[in-house]
Structure formats: C-alpha cells, structure tokens
Amino acid sequence: MIDDEDRDILRTAHRYLEHVHRLAAEDAAHRQSELAEVISAHLGVDATTVPVTTESLPLHRYVDADIALDELSALGEGRVIGVTGGDQRWHLSASDLLSASYARFAPGPISYETRAVGPGAERRVVAFGVRLFTFDGHPLAVVQRSSARNVMPPTAQLELFGADPDAMGAALDEIRRLMVERSVLRGHVLSFVPTEYGSEAGATFLARPTVDAEEVVLGDGVLQRIVDHVVGIGDHRDALRAAGQHLKRGVLLYGPPGTGKTLTVRHLLSRTAGTTAVVLTGSSVRFVTAAAEIARTFAPALVVLEDIDLVAADRAYSPQPVLFDVLDALDGLEPDADIAFVMTTNHVQILEEALAARPGRVDLGVEIPLPDVAARRRLFQHFGGGLRFSPEALDAAAERAEGTTGSFAKEVMRRAVLRAALRGDDAPTDGDLAASLEELLSSGEALTRMLLGAKESFSSM
C-alpha cells in the first residue's frame, strides 16, 4: 500500500517532470536545427522568422525549374546543399524542416534523379535540395523537391525564403521566365500518360516522325487542303494577324479505320519541325487541359487528339464531357495564338451533338474515306516500291480490291514477294501479285481482310 507521504513524493516528481518537459520544449522553440543554422547564416537573419513562398509545379515542368535555378545560382554565386532525415522530409513544409521539433534535419548529400529532356536524352536534376544564392543583391534560399513515389498528389514544389518579400517575388518571376525561355519541352513532340496514381499526367518525349507527302495516299487535293489549314496558317501568321484574322484552328479528320488519318497526322508533325506538339490518344485525351497549357506557353504549337471516339468504349470516360474539355481548351486560346488542334475519329456520329452545340470551334472537317480505285492503284504502287509489276497488273489489282485500305495493299505486296522468295526467285511477277490478291480475297481470308481494315463486317461472313 502507498501511504500519503509516498503519494506526495510521486506528485512532486510528476510536477518536476512536467516542468522539465516544458523547459525543454521552450528551449527547443528557441533553437534552430542544423539546417536552419546554415540557411540563417546565408540569409543573414533567422530563417525560421522569414516568409516562405511556395510554388507548385506540374511534373512535366520540373526539369525546366531545375534549369532555371541552375542559371540563377550560377549568376548569384550559389550552391546546393542536401538534407538528411530520411523520407519524412518529403512530407514536411520548408518551415517544418527548419523547426527545432525536427532538429534531426541537417545538411547532407544532395539527392539527384534523372529526367528525360528529349527523345533518348536525359538530365540529372536535384530531386531534393536547398539552393542558396543571391538575387539582385538579396540572399535567398529555395527548397527544391520533385515528386516522391509515396507522396500524393504527385507534384513538385519550390519553397522560397528571403528577408525581402519584393526580392522573393522578383526572383520567382525570373524563375518562371527562365522556365519558359530555357524549357526542354519547346519544339519537341510530347505525349501525356497517367502516373501510377492516375490523377496526374507525366510527359513523354516522342521522336518526330518523318513522313513525306508521297507516302500519304488520299483523294485528289485532300492532303493539301489539310496541310494548308494546319501548316499554311502558321506559315502566313504575320499576314493573317495584320489583316485582323485569327490563327487558332480546329481540324477534325473522320472516316473508317485504316484510311490514312494517323499517317496524315504524322505527315503534319513532319511538316512542322521546331513546333511544339502534344499527341494524345484514346483515354489520354482527358489530359487535354495540360496539353492546351503547353500549347499556349510554347506556341506555335500543334495538339493532336487521336481516336477520341475510343473514349466511348471505356465506361470510366464519357465522350461528350471529354469533347467539351477539348472545345473549352479551344475557347481558352487567344485568337491570334498560332495553335492548331487536330482530332481524328472513326465514328464521327458520336461527336456530332457536342460539335453542333459549340459551333465554330472546329473550323475544318475532312472526311478520309476508303480509297477509290485511283488511290488504291497508288497504294499498290507505293507499297510495291521498286518491284516491276506491269501497269495492267496494278490496274487489275486496284479494280479488284474495292473496299480495302492501305494495310490490305501492303499485305498483298508482302505475300507476292514471299511467293517469289519461296520458289527461289529474286523478284515477284504479275502472276505472284494476282495470286496473292486472289488468296486475300478468298472466303477463307475474310477475318484477315477485316483485320486489315476492309469494309466488310466479320459478323456478316
């Protein structure tokens, strides 16, 4: 049993421990972490007392921020320090990193990571670090962090410290300017894909295709009409602006699968070297807002939205709201912005209602139908390359291949070459062409024809 004297002793000990704990907390509140001490020495004031300005960045702009900060640091005799303390640092604000309650944070090794800066090109960037430099005579500090895998949402951040708020604002303006001027995105072909969390988009660099006009087999004048609208307006932007005409344009290419819509888009990308382009396909079209922001920032630009009807096949996305997002993006552009939106669809009827409700946003619609006999002959000739088929054989093949696409012509030519190779001949004959065509047109190849984009339906075979 505890008597009254023991109870008094315990109460006194408890009050003493509470007093010690309170003194320790008060002492900690007046102490700086090792990290804060280094930053305070650079700023010339207590770092825990200065204002902090936070700038959140999309994932695809983080490399641009790193480049901008490198340039400012070089001009301001800056340096970078790392931060120790484990993964917890990713979850804390810059102020928390400096407070005494997190005194374990101290200068340490810089965390780096590798980010793409173009097709097949990479750059090492600061993943987590503190930049110490001088801007216009004012010492500043920037906590720079990219997105950690276990942190949601996956966004990057810059946190600026400084005793002079005006200098901080001017430095942030300069960082933003340099991010545009030195951007690794400008002039490249990009695509956006969901991150592992699905809520944000990460940019991927694509190689710019090389597709000559001769490779795009469409009806007479069709390709030139598209090129004049997409490329020609940009080539003559000064004359159009001088005449008070708008530059932004929306183009819709529609028609059956396999008729050349994607090849036409690839040709447009070939014709616009040096233009920033964003290519979205299917469900990735939901990132059109991010694509439009890239286009606005780095105009002249081209935004390609391929197979937007495919969104309808996924119950998670409704084609109408997605298309409205596209039209909203067009609405948000300045009239004199040299930006073209090119959309492709296999099923234009899915989009007609939304397009009719917002007239004028898409100002050119071009049907890309199944090739006629003249186009089919050009396709056979194109995929035949240097093969010496007679004009009569090519004419006959084009006549018989009604309702087929370029993929069909390409496969016919491959089979003709294979026939010759199997019997030991170097080049196929007219007979090989005819036999290969007959084989693909047979009833046993009905599914193959459908897979090659032929007009017939497999369900009716």
Structure tokens at 244: 């008070």
Q: Which residue pairs from 411-416 have beta carbons closer than 8 angstroms and sit at least 24 positions apart in sequence?
A: 411/440, 411/448, 411/452, 412/380, 412/383, 412/436, 412/437, 412/440, 413/380, 413/383, 413/384, 413/385, 413/387, 415/439, 415/440, 416/387
Residue pLDDT, tens place only, 188-212: 999 987 655 444 557 899 999 999 9
Q: In the prediction, which pLDDT does 457 show? A: 43
Q: For residues 175 and 140, what is the distance between their CA atoms, to the nearest angstrom?
A: 13
Residue pLDDT, tens place only, 211-249: 999 999 998 899 999 999 999 999 999 999 999 998 988
Residue pLDDT, tens place only, 338-372: 999 999 998 888 777 777 767 767 889 999 999 99
Residue pLDDT, tens place only, 412-459: 999 999 999 999 998 999 999 999 999 999 988 888 888 887 776 433
Identify the H or E element spanning 279.
strand 276-281
The least confident of 123-137, 143-157, 253-267, 433-447 is 143-157
What residue ranges of the chain are covered by domains with CATH 3.40.50.300?
A: 203-367
Q: In the prediction, which pLDDT does 162 show? A: 92
CB 366 within 8 A of CB 222: yes
Give the rounded distance of the alpha carbon of 129 from its chain centre.
26
CB 430 within 8 A of CB 444: no
User: Distance of CA 284 to CAs 113, 206, 443, Å?
Assistant: 26, 15, 38
Around Cβ 91, how many Cβ atoms within 10 Å? 10
203-367 CATH fold: Rossmann fold (3.40.50)
Q: In the prediction, which pLDDT does 149 show? A: 61
Which residue would you say has higher pLDDT here, 265 or 348?
265
Q: Which CATH number fits domain 373-460: 1.10.10.10, 1.10.8.190, 3.40.50.150, 1.10.8.60?
A: 1.10.8.60
CB 127 within 8 A of CB 62: no
Structure tokens at 253: 């290419």
Residue pLDDT, tens place only, 31-74: 567 888 999 999 999 998 899 999 999 889 999 999 999 999 99
Structure tokens at 408: 């069909």
Q: Residue 30: is it exposed, middle or buried by C-beta count within 10 angstroms (0-12/13-18/19+)?
A: exposed
Q: In the prediction, which pLDDT does 459 show? A: 39
Q: ω into residue 165 within 30 of 0, thus cis?
A: no
Which residue would you say has higher pLDDT here, 197 or 95?
95
Instruction: Say if residue 105's pLDDT is above 60.
Output: yes
Q: For residues 161 and 168, what is the distance between their CA atoms, to the nearest angstrom?
A: 7
Q: What percentage of the chain exceeds 70 in pLDDT?
A: 85
Q: In the prediction, which pLDDT does 196 show? A: 54
Around Cβ 165, how many Cβ atoms within 10 Å? 12
Residue type, 104: R
Q: In the prediction, which pLDDT does 123 show? A: 95
Average pLDDT, the chain: 85
| 93-117: average pLDDT | 82
* 422: CB partners within 8 A, 6+ apart: none
What residue ranges of the chain are covered by domains with CATH 1.10.8.60?
A: 373-460
Residue pLDDT, tens place only, 279-319: 998 778 878 888 989 999 999 999 999 988 776 444 455 55
Which residue would you say has higher pLDDT here, 155 or 108?
108
Structure tokens at 87: 């993964």
Q: In the prediction, which pLDDT does 152 show? A: 57
